[in-house]
Amino acid sequence: MSKLTNYIKETKVELKSVNWPTKKQALNYTLLVIGASVAVAAFLGVFDMLFAYLLGKFII
């Protein structure tokens, strides 16, 4: 058996033992990641605007 064939067979065996999330769990995790990303973007955006404003006040 070649290494590639052996690798593919072992991969199939491993994938059978994986505990896959349900569609509802996948949707919830996806929404959580999107929500966290939006929250971090808003947080960083506010600080970016604040620092730009303050820097503008000090320079001009």
Q: Can you give the residue ranges of every domain in the chain?
A: 20-60
pLDDT by residue, tens only, the chain of 60 residues: 689 999 999 999 999 999 999 999 999 999 999 999 999 999 999 999 999 999 999 886
User: Within its chain, how far is the Cα of 10 from the centroid?
Assistant: 28
- pTM of the prediction? 0.66
CB 21 within 8 A of CB 29: yes
Which residue in the block uniquely carries the two structure tokens 């349900």?
Answer: 22
